[in-house]
Amino acid sequence: MGSPRNPDFQGLIVRVSLALTARQIPFMLIGGQAILLHGEPRLTQDIDVTLGVPPDHVPDVLSVAHSTGLNPLPEDPQAFAGETFVLPCEETATGRRVDFIFSTMPYEAHAIGRAVRVAIEGEDVPFAAAEDLLLHKLFAGRPRDLEDAAGVVRRKGSEIDWYYVRKWAEEFAKIPGREEMPERVERLRRGV
């Protein structure tokens, strides 16, 4: 995997993975770490983790955070996660950020089930599959995310299951503000 060569950083990924697995919280890594696996590598020192649980599992995730040397950033983690579906944490020793992203959508559970397992320091860590990373990036829709999506296509284009990506893009297009997703998918697909 093309993840950072910093063993402490990889150790943090492994510690978080082991702690979530021990608490039976389904998850996968997304964001910059998954881009290192599927897209065009870029410098990233944060970890984004999609969880297959809703925000009422904040106490479980706080337990994971504390056991891995992470401190929640919001004063009221339960309220913050309830409003934003994110629990941002920071590793005390290094200042590295880990964002735990709660989910309630059936899509997220499906994507977690499709995660690609990557060995890091002898442990299998689940990363978003290329198609799901592409969908996450297109859903976010920020310029950096769209660049990342194009990088995934440049690197993995012939391997991508475009039927799967189009199917979910059409579902996401039903959400206000995401109507353009099928068109973005087609533009990316034609660029392969």
pLDDT digits (tens, 9 = 90+) for 42-65: 666 788 999 999 999 999 999 999
| Contact yes or no for 5/11 (Cβ under 8 A) | no
| Contact yes or no for 61/80 (Cβ under 8 A) | no
Q: Which domains does the chain have, with CATH numbers?
A: 7-128 (3.30.460.40), 134-190 (no CATH)
What pLDDT band is residue 92 in, cutting at 50, 70 and 90?
Answer: confident
Mean pLDDT of 156-171: 94
What pLDDT band is residue 129 in, cutting at 50, 70 and 90?
Answer: very high
Residue indicated by tokens 């770490």? 33
Distance of CA 148 to CAs 33, 45, 134, Å?
12, 16, 8
- Residues contacting residue 14 through CB under 8 Å, at least 6 positions apart: 120, 121, 123, 125
What's the pTM?
0.88
